[in-house]
Each structure stands twice: as C-alpha cells, then as structure tokens.
Chains A and B, each alone.
Chain A
Amino acid sequence: MSMELDVFVGNTTVLDEDVYQLWLDGQTVTDAVRIRIEAGALQECEANAEVLLSDTMDQFRTFQMCERLLQSPSKVANQLLFQIPPHRQTMLIERYYEFDSMFAREVLGKKLSKGTKKDLDDIGSKTGIVLKSCRRQFDNFKRVFKVVEELKGPLVENIQRHFLLSDVLARDYAAIVFFANSRFETGKRKLQYLSFQDFAFCAGQLISYWTVGAVDNVVENMDVDLEKEFLHDLKDLKVLVNDKDMLDQHKSLVCAQLRGKIKVFSEMEASFKNLSRALVNIASKLTHTKDVRDLFIDLVEKFIEPCRSDKWTIGDLRLFLTHYSSSVHTLEAFRRQVIWDRYMGVIKSCILKMYHD
C-alpha cells in the first residue's frame, strides 16, 4: 500500500521560502523533512510527518519545474506556466543565484570548465557543501560567465540586465566572471587566508579602474579585460626604481612626511627601497599574462609579507601608501603621473583590503 501519486497545484504557485532554501542547499527530501521537523514544523497547523513529507516532495518538485526557467531569469516574468507575483519571482531568482562564499572562494580564478566541475566533489567535502548545491553554484557561475563574456558594456549592468539580480549579487558575479576570465591565481597556500569578499573587493577595483570600460564610457567597450595600453604604459614606471636619484628623492620625501607619524618608521626606512621596488616591478611585469595571474600572490609575497613580519599596523600601512603614492607628484623628473595614480589607487586599496591575518 502506498501513495502512488500526490500533487498539489495552486493557481498562484505556492512557494515556501524555507523549503526553497533546503532545496537550494541540495538536501534530499528525507533530509529536508528531518531538518524541518527539527525546526519545529510539526507544531504548525497540527501537521504530522506524512503531511510534511508530502509537502516537501511537492515543493521540491515545484522548484525543479521552475529551475529551467530560473536558468534564464528573463523568461520568468513572461512565462505562463507558473503564476508567481513579481516580488516572489525576484526572491526565487535572487536565491537561486546566491552562492556560498566558501564555495566561490574555492572556484575563484579557476577555469569554469568540465575539468573544474569534476573537482566539485573535493570542494564539496572540503567546504561541507552538498555536491548538488556545488553543481548548481558552479553551473550558475558558468552560465553567467558564458552570457556576459562576449557582451559589450559595463559588466555589472550586463549581469543585472540578463539575470535580474540585485546590485550586490551582480557585483559578486562580476568579480567571479572577472577572475575566471583573467584566471588570477588564488589557490596558493599563501593566499588561503584571503576570503572571497577580499578578492571580490579587489576585482571591483580592477574592473572600475584598470579595464577599458573604466576610462572610456563608450558602450562598445568591454569590462572583462584589463586595458592593454595601460598595462603597457606601466613599464614606464620602472624609472622610479631604476633611476637611483629618483628613488632616493622619493624615499626622502616619504620619510619626511611620515617621521613621527608611524610606529614602524625605522623599519620602513630600512625596507623602503625593497618595497618600492616590489610594487614597481609588479607593475612593469603586468604586460605578461602569466604575471597578471600572479598579481595577488606577488602582492602578498613581495609586499604584504615583509610588512607583516615588521609588524606594521593597518594604520601605518595606510599612511605609508598614501604618502608613497602622493609624493611621486613632487618628483619633477617623473612624467607618468596619471598612470601612476591609476596604478597606485587600485594597488593601495587592494593591499589595504588584503592586509589582515
């Protein structure tokens, strides 16, 4: 004896947000029922386990039927199969595209390909996220990537337009797309301490200031790639470390400004040339794709780690970077002020974001 068939269809599609979350989390029906019981669902409306099972199955089925639509969110609003009020549509889409930052952190910078998809098992066991959920998140990344990859115009807006996501979520996706496209190295052990949000912030900075779209607001421009011309120009910054006079002058300017203002003054004075050389070298190497990928590991190894071992505080670091960057303006022999500012603005905010334990 068994229930052969059990369906419930409302004219307005009935959606339970809690059950939706369980479904998104990749839970099986059995687990979902258990979790709901633990959450006290049986107290509601004199339910019993049977009722809960039936409800959960039905909801899961509904979500599964909606999934096809959610994969192209623009269809959700003008499809006829499910009558869903607009605010619920927004909720469905937003939640479907939400992801675990733990998961995103693992995938960040990796090629969104079949090969990576095979690694989802490992990521799942590492992060404790159910494989099914990992797959959905990965497929979402891939889908968004594929759609916006070739599109002209601002990345975030493109994502928002095609996937109807909130601004915050669209920015996160922009970061993921950006990282996947440029394949930044994020997996090294030394980078493990950085969270998804750290990288997402950096990506935002890079997108806003270093891409073609950043300087030129013409719609045809693309946001996904760094501006080649700018990267080429960065070579000219080398003079700051190669010209000994200029380096000394720069150092004395910075020291004059910071004397008595930072605790690690002597350490700074001692390592100034090394630090400056590190930042300028990173800049000048960015013409090579390989070095672009290593941007973050380079920043950590060549700049952040030395500072950390000298026990710089974040305040010290901020002061240093501010004056390091601004005092270049007073170097009369230096001509690439604009390039410098564009470079240092991003580097400074990235370093500050990344400078933590």
Chain B
Amino acid sequence: MPGKLKAKIVAGRHLPVMDRASDLTDAFVEVKFGNTTFKTDVYPKSLNPQWNSEWFKFEVDDEDLQDEPLQITVLDHDTYSANDAIGKVYIDIDPLLCSEAATVISGWLPIYDTIHGIRGEINVLVKVDLFNDLNRFRQSSCGVKFFCTTSIPRCYRAVMVHGFVEELVVNEDPEYQWIDRIRTPRASNEARQRLIFLMSGELQRKIGLKVLEMGGNAVVGYLQCFDLEGETGLVVRAIGTACTLEKISTLPATATHPSNSSPSKDMKEPGFGEEAPGVPLSSGPPTPLRAQTFSSFSPSKSYSRQSSSSDTELSLTPKTGMGSGGSAGKEAGPLKALLRQQTQSALEQREYPFFTLTAFPPGFLLHVGGVVSARSVKLLDRIHNPDEPETRDAWWEEIRQEIKSHAKALGCHAVVGYSESTSICEEVCILSASGTAAILSSRFMQDGSLDTEHRFEEVVPPGCGFCHIPYDELNIPFPAQLTYCYCCRRYKVPDVLFTTIDLPTEANVTGKGCLIQARLCRTKKKAQGEGNATAISNLLPFLEYELHTQLMNKLKLRGMNALFGLRIQISVGETMLLGLASATGVYLTALPSPGGIQVAGKTPSDITYEQHISNMQKKINDTISKNKELHEINPPEVVEEIIGSPIPEPRQRSRLFRSHSESSDEVSELDLSHGKKDAFVLEIDDTDAVEDIHALLTDSPTPAGFYSCNTEIMPGIQNWTSAIQMFTSVRVFRLNANLTNQGLNKIFSDLCENLLKSLYFKLRSMVPCCLCHLNFTVAIPEDELIQVAVTAVAMSFDKEQSLENGKQSGEKTLIKAITENDEQLQFNLELNAETSSPNPLSSPKGLSEVGSHPSARDRCSSWIEQLKLKAHTIRRGSVKTTSSLEKASPLPEGRSRSLRSNRSYSGSSVAVVKMTPLSFIPGAKIIKYLGIINMFFIRETTSLREEGGVSGFLHTFIAEVFAMVRAHVAALGGNAVVSYSMKECVFMENPNKNQAQCLINVSGDAVIFIQESELESTSVQTQSATTHTSNGGEGT
C-alpha cells in the first residue's frame, strides 16, 4: 500500500441556483479516486454550503496516484428525480508526490461544467502520505520532477544532462465511440477530459520510469502534445530532456549569484575572463557553417530512406573510462580533443542525441551548426492495439533518425532546441520535427568523471564561440560564405545563422532584435487518401523553400544576420496549406554584416521599367536603413577581410537564397556557379518576385516604444520592471471561395500583421515594453477558415536605464537626480540618454568593464530602483499604482500560505497569480517549483448566440481556463506559472445549429517567487518559513 490520499471538502461558494422554486441549491459532493467514491452530506438550501467534511482517505498504489486525477463532483440533491450535476473539479495530485514540490493542495477551485463553464467554487484540502517503495521493478516513478521550462530551472543546478526521453500512448477517442451516439454531450466531454487526464498521467509516469532508468531525477523541457486523430484514435505523446538536478541551497547562494531573474544580466560574466576571445574549445580545423534546413518527405505511408546517405557512421573513439579528471578549463588542445571525442561517444551511445532545451548552462553549448528539420506525410489508420502503438512510434522513429543524420551531415553530434509537432486534416497527418544541430561540451554528460567544483570553474566560452562553424571547411555540405569571426578573428563563421534555440546569454549582439515572420498560403486540390497525401508531399518542399526565402529576405531587410527561436509551422486543410515561420532576428556581432538586397530586372531596355526598379530599390534601401536605426544596429567599423572577393557587383545575379531549402546534395552544385557576393539579388522578372518584394515592404515596423521577439529575452533590454501581462489572442478569418495563391497570401499576411497591430494597441499603456515569446499557432479548422492564436507576454522596461555605457557619469547623475526635484530629474535622464546613446553596448570590452565592477553596478541598480519609482510618478500615475500593487502581492511562501488560509475562510480577495510563457519573472526570484500544470478542458455550447456568439463563447472559455490555472497554482501554494503555453486550441462551430465546441490544453510550471526588492528584507523570514513548512510536510 504505497500511498494514502486524503481529501477534505470544506465549503462552496457562488453556486448556481439549481432549484428555481426556492432560488437555492441543495448541494453535496462526490469525491472519487480510481474506483472509490465518497460523498459528503447534503447541505440544504444554500448557495454557499459549508460541508466541512471528514477526511476522505483513499489507499492506493503509487502507480494509480500518478495516473489518476482526483475527481470532485458537486451535485444538487433532488428527492424525486436524479441528482443534477453542477460541475466537476479534476485535481492532478502529481505535484504532491514529489518531496521537493508542493505538500498540500488547499484553496478555492472553480467548479467546471463542460456545458455551462465555471459554476461557483469549492474549497478543498488534499494531502498525500507516501510510503517508500524500494521495489526495483516498480511501475511508478514518483519523485521524478517535471518541468515545462526549456532551460535548467532557476533554483536548480544541472549535475548531469542525460538526454532525450520520449513516449506516446494511444487510445480510442470517446467522441468517436458508438456509445457517443446515445450519451449526452456532457457525458461525452467528461469522458474525453477524464481519458486525457489519465493518459497524460500514464505518459508522465512512463517517461519518469525512463528517467529513473537513465539515472536521472528530472525531466526538463517536457513537451506533451495531443493528436486528435478522430476516427483512428487519440494519441498523447511527450518528449523531454532527462537530467539530474541538484537544488541550489536557497539563500546563501543568492549572494554569489546575484540575480537569476534576468538572464541578460548574466551576460556580463563571460566578458570577465581574461581569456575572453578564442579559447580553443574545439579541436580540429575550424570549419564553416551556415543556416541550413533539410527536408525530406516520405510520400504517404512508405518511408523512403533517402536520408540514409548521410547516415554514415562516425568513427568512434574508444571510450576512456577514467574521464579527464582534473581541471578541464586549463586543459591543452589534445586533451580537449579527447574530451570532445568522449562527448561524441557519450552521445553516440544514445539512440537520439536530442535535447529539448533551448537555453543551456554556461559552457554547455559549444558550436551551433544550423537548423535541421524533417517532415513526413502519413495516412492515419486505425490503431489496432492501443497497448502497442507501433505505427506511431515507428513514424516518429523515422523522423528522428532523419534529424540525427542531418545533424551528422553538419558535423554535429547533437540536436538542441528540439521539438515535434503534427498537423492533421481528415486522414492525412503531417509529422514535423526540428532542432538545431550543435556540438555540446561533455561536462554535463560524463558520469561522475568530473568533480562538481571543476565543472563550474571551467571557462565560459566568449560571446562568439557558438557561432564558429562545427563542420569541415573543405567539405561544406551546402553553399556558405565563410569569414573569420568578427569577434575573435580566429575561427570561421558563416554569413547567416538560423537556430531554434534561445539567444545564448553570452552572445555578443549589436542593437536589438525583432520578430520576423514568413507567411505563406498555398491552395491545393481536394483529394482523398493516398492521392491527397502525395499531393501534400509534393507541395511541402515548395512551401518550405518559399518560407525560407521570405525569412532570409526579411532578415536582410532588417539588416540582421541571425535567427533564433525559429519555428516553422505547417498546417494542412482540405483545400490549402498554411506555412508560418516565426523567429527572432538579431545582429550577431561575430557574424559579418549582411549585404543589402539588390533588385534586378530582366529587360533593362525599357526605361519606365528601369525607373520602376530603381524606385523599388530605393524603397528597399530606405527600409533597411530605417530598420537599422529602429533596432539600433550600428556595428563597429571593421576592416573587411572576407575570404574570396567580397565586393558586390551590381550586375552579378544570384538566386542563392532560393536554394536554401533544397536537400543537401543538390545544393552544393548550385553554389559553385555563384561565388561570393555581398548583396542579395532579387530578380523581379516573374510575378512571384514582385509579390515577394511587395510582401517584404508591407510588414509594418513595430510602433514606437514596442519591441517584439519570440524568444525568452530581447538583447539590449535588461531593466525589466515587474509589470507583466500574459495574454492569449485568437482570430478566425473566413475566406471566400476561389482565391488565388497571391490573394490567400495577402489575406494571411494581413491577418497576422493586423493581429500584431491590435496587440500593440491593446498594450499601449505598458510602453516602453517588449512582447516576448510571441508564439503564433495557425490552424485550418475547416474549409475556408484560418485560425491564428497567439500567446505571449508583454513586459515593461525602463528606457532610461538600458544605457549601460553612460554609467561613469551615470552614477553621479543618478544620485543627484534623486535628490533634485522632479523637473530636474527628467532633465538629467535625458542628458544621461544623450551621452550614452552614441555608444551602445557593442564591444565585448565594454561589457567586461561593466562586469568587472559588480559592486558598483549593484549600487547603481539600487539607485536605479528608486529612480524608477520616481520616474513613474512623473510620467504615468497608472504605472506607479501597478508597481506599488505588485509589491503588495503576497510574496514569501510562509506569509502567503498563512494569508491564503486566512482568506479562504473570510472569503475576501483572491491572491494574484502571475502567468508567463517565459522561464523567469522579471525583478523576482523563483524560490520553489511546485510541479507541472497540465490541464485539458472541453467546452461546448448549444446556445451560441445567447453566449455572445463565437467570440463571446471563446472569450469566456479562455478566461475560464486562465482562472482555473491560477486557482490550481494558488491551491498548490504558488503565486506564478512560468513557461506557460497553450498547446492546443481546437475550435469548432456550427452557427446554424447555434452550437460550438472548443478544446484547450495548457501547461506550465507552478512556482513560488519573491520580489528581488523584498528578498533581502525577508530572506531570514523566508528561510525559517521554508524549513517550517517542509517540517510540517513531513509531519503530516
């Protein structure tokens, strides 16, 4: 009997009126776990019942504890007829199974009904007593921690990164079972919700087992997805990175690592080292690299092993068991090489050297090769034996093998920032996987070969190391233009770099970044079965190729040379394919400055045509310079030393970027004919190109005061305020029939652009602000409908302080400013801005300067803190009030707990829960991870008009989902959700029948954070509070 689950039903409030006659409700509660059900007494005639039940105890296997949710059903007692259900609450008890996570679930949780939405709240208490089970063959994996965060969680340290874990489980979809014809929609929805809860529990348990097998204790970057295949079933699959994590002892550590909250601050540390540029981190001759996408398509079911050509076995050096012992940082070349080989072999041993992480501990990521991706089109067939989901497993296996071989072709032994996705339309399914080929350091992958101390002493690579090519210069698998690194001048770098990861914190970046999107629509004939799959397979390469061309053009147009967080989504519908590529463009200081875009016509004889072209050229040039100014890109002047002949010749024509997404073997031929050039030439002899150019120029720049990116952080912005606003926006657009490709493209592009514009307008009160982690998902819910959903977080920052370099004079000015009156303060700030703006943080030297006086910086930042408040008072009253409000929110764990429990009975205000798709909360420190939040909801209505139409329906539903996430986090004792994402939002409507249905799946990590400003004052308190609670947890 490995576990005892205890639940107590305290009270309800705001219940709906169930008895029209009395305008009251006779409510009681059923508490169910597995096959055991308990009931409370009926609390008659009240909308705010006080059950105060006994403790209901369930004695269960820990396997069940992991799989099953606790199900609480609130009902209205009826003497004569059947009791009416008011709603349900599903509680995932997984967080209680881990000693380091939450100890109790206690609080008000919304009572949810799939037809009526939230109907009141219920106050519950849930605890788990777990007995140790030492059975080696156990089926449970209690204690393995799960994190959605795709980096090492803030209060942990990675001892080991074991690698890729994956699992999938399948089942029949209750919605498609025969019984669905006779049961109510409510029963059907609830069966589905429950099934998915069970399946994700099972999946998590199985993944946990794999992690234990590997010797890990946590999964980081856990990504779970549902494939609603329809008739053929329901697939729940997950991938993640197994790690061994060690908790950083909370408070003493904070002194040495001053701020974990804003990763950008860490950026200064690398520059500190004297050995800064060019530490020989890679062995062998420097090799070129370039942004690269491979794609291969296996038409319908048959899997073509076309990629196996690159699947050559890399020679394995015998693994040295002793490891490298001593000081890795001071090692000479040969030893380094050995180390690298070790890594390689360590990775080779793994089936898939994949990592779902997008940000890495310093020194882990050595080199980046470029994006690798693979797609395949499959025909769905019935899953005959749900216990052996072989076909689905095999499909993914194929794709992963392909990715692996692509990475090898790029001279890389690992894939980072790895993710998988699907798009399903009828019986056709597109499976996609993508990641970034990379070379990793061995230090997190060797079994105990390095002492922990040494691991952290190792020199952090300088801000350019990851750009250096990992492959052989003489054997480039695709065309690339290599130059010596603009930072260290020792190693070769490519001219452009595409990646799926976050911008490494140590990267040297010039100016700021921005969101870059390529959008594409392609019509397709309606077809069935194999024919349809083949048609899609044939269209895919073109789609991907054009997306790449668009991305490249837009990147150039912004004067940038690298993309991070690249995510290409391809969505399939009956009559069209949608492609959306989003990434954050930046100017990497290490990479060469991008050339401009040259427009060239085919028939130069015509004068008006020439004029047209020169007009267009002028427009493009203007846009580039405007963009450079906007993003503050003014790279330091350097002597050109490009290998080969770098001077661009205007007549020289190239279609280089058109070759980007071609598969590797074709590409190398193309390259030879073009040679090197600086400017990218666009031919506008065909209508496509004209359209391309128009598309380029229609992207409107972000309004003043706004920045946007789809990564975690924006280079060049560090001084976030604590004001954050997470949001989800969904739009569905109805198309006319018979649109051309161009027409569709324009509509789709406008849809995205307008959505962005609306977001900027909505969030204008937060200016200056940055929209971070802008995550677009597109879908084709039915013919002629395009759905775009965005989840992101808007974060305010203080403009004045972003000017690091003006700090010699800055500190004095700031101090003075505080003592002076407001008017003068503003003047000073302006002055400060003026002095520093001409030299933005560009050189790594400037950075190291700043970094070398941490104490001075800290002092400065505390002044800045005060100044910030003042500045707010001057400018906008509204901001001032919000910031003071943030401060008022309950912070240290001990305190918030007690507050909460007081509150739950007095029923006054609700604790604030912040939500963010990022892994951190600005200006705050995460002190505890409480467990993963993974929730799935279905909402259906048969009175669409009465609920305010489709918009009203979805608006309410999304608000309800947020509310439920917040309530569950608060019940766990948390005050924020990080790495939040909405992974699924399936919306279906039938306005004629006045019906609509929507499914939403969200996930994230529940955490407790405390504001940094309060950290010092409350540190002692918190510590005692934490120890206290943990003691309390053991006692119960």
Give residues of chain B (713-735) contacting chain A, Cβ–Cβ below 8 Å: 725-735
Question: Are B761 and A80 within 8 A (Cβ)?
Answer: no
Judge if B758 is at the interface, Cβ distance under 8 Å. yes
How far, in Å, is B576 (CB) from chain A's closest CB? 14
Q: Which residues of B contact A47 (CB under 8 A)?
A: 757, 761
Question: Are B729 and A80 within 8 A (Cβ)?
Answer: no
Judge if B873 is at the interface, Cβ distance under 8 Å. no
Judge if A270 is at the interface, Cβ distance under 8 Å. no
Judge if A83 is at the interface, Cβ distance under 8 Å. yes
How far, in Å, is A152 (CB) from chain B's closest CB? 21
Question: Are A54 and B764 within 8 A (Cβ)?
Answer: no
One digit per residue, 1 when the CB lies within 8 angstroms of any chain B CB and 0 when it does not, for chain A 1-34 equals 1111111111111100000000000000000000
Judge if B214 is at the interface, Cβ distance under 8 Å. no
Judge if B747 is at the interface, Cβ distance under 8 Å. yes
- By secondary structure, the B interface counts as mixed
A50: contacting residue among B110, B754, B764, B960, CB under 8 A? B754
Given that A3-B731, A11-B726, A85-B885 are contacting pairs, would A80 and B118 also be in contact in the complex, using a CB cutoff of 8 Å?
A: yes
Question: Are B700 and A9 within 8 A (Cβ)?
Answer: no
Judge if B1031 is at the interface, Cβ distance under 8 Å. no
Given that A1-B734, A61-B955, A83-B962 are contacting pairs, would A77 and B910 also be in contact in the complex, using a CB cutoff of 8 Å?
A: yes
B954: contacting residue among A5, A12, A54, CB under 8 A? A5
Judge if A147 is at the interface, Cβ distance under 8 Å. no
The number of chain A residues touching the other chain, given as a range, is 35 or more
Question: Are A8 and B729 within 8 A (Cβ)?
Answer: yes
Question: Are B908 and A11 within 8 A (Cβ)?
Answer: no
Judge if A288 is at the interface, Cβ distance under 8 Å. no
Give residues of chain A (31-52) contacting chain B, Cβ–Cβ below 8 Å: 44-48, 50-52
Q: Which residues of A contact B908 (CB under 8 A)?
A: 77-78
Judge if B192 is at the interface, Cβ distance under 8 Å. no
How far, in Å, is B157 (CB) from chain A's closest CB? 30
Question: Are A78 and B727 within 8 A (Cβ)?
Answer: no
The A/B interface has a contact count, at CB < 8 Å, of 147
- The answer for the CA separation of A5 and B985 in the assembled complex, in Å, is 13
Judge if B914 is at the interface, Cβ distance under 8 Å. yes
CB-based nearest A residue for B949? A5
CB-based nearest B residue for A12? B725
Given that A77-B909, A80-B118 are contacting pairs, would A5 and B962 also be in contact in the complex, using a CB cutoff of 8 Å?
A: no
Question: Are A14 and B732 within 8 A (Cβ)?
Answer: no
One digit per residue, 1 when the CB lies within 8 angstroms of any chain A CB and 0 when it does not, for chain B 698-710 equals 0010010010000
Question: Are A5 and B110 within 8 A (Cβ)?
Answer: no
Given that A4-B732, A7-B730, A81-B959 are contacting pairs, would A44 and B761 also be in contact in the complex, using a CB cutoff of 8 Å?
A: yes
Judge if A82 is at the interface, Cβ distance under 8 Å. yes
Judge if A79 is at the interface, Cβ distance under 8 Å. yes
Judge if A75 is at the interface, Cβ distance under 8 Å. yes
Q: Which residues of B contact A4 (CB under 8 A)?
A: 732-734, 785, 950, 989
CB-based nearest B residue for A62? B955
Judge if B13 is at the interface, Cβ distance under 8 Å. yes
One digit per residue, 1 when the CB lies within 8 angstroms of any chain A CB and 0 when it does not, for chain B 763-774 equals 110010000000
How far, in Å, is B209 (CB) from chain A's closest CB? 35
Q: Which residues of B contact A11 (CB under 8 A)?
A: 725-727, 913-915, 962, 966
CB-based nearest A residue for B965? A11
Judge if A297 is at the interface, Cβ distance under 8 Å. no
- The answer for the CA separation of A82 and B885 in the assembled complex, in Å, is 16
Q: Which residues of B contact A3 (CB under 8 A)?
A: 731-734
- The answer for the CA separation of A291 and B70 in the assembled complex, in Å, is 67
Q: Top 5 closest A-B pairs, CB basis?
A: A5-B732, A11-B726, A9-B958, A4-B732, A10-B727
Can you sample 11 A-B contacts with CB below 8 Å? A3-B734, A4-B732, A4-B989, A7-B730, A50-B754, A51-B758, A58-B762, A78-B108, A82-B959, A85-B885, A86-B909
Using a CB–CB distance below 8 Å, which chain A residues touch chain B?
1-14, 44-48, 50-52, 54-55, 57-58, 61-62, 64-65, 75, 77-83, 85-87
Using a CB–CB distance below 8 Å, which chain B residues touch chain A?
13-14, 108, 110, 118, 121, 700, 703, 706, 725-736, 747, 754, 757-764, 767, 785, 787, 881-882, 885, 907-910, 912-915, 948, 950-952, 954-956, 958-960, 962-963, 966-967, 987, 989
**Extra inter-chain contacts (5) besides given A5-B730, A52-B761, A80-B108, CB under 8 Å:** A1-B734, A1-B747, A14-B762, A61-B952, A82-B963
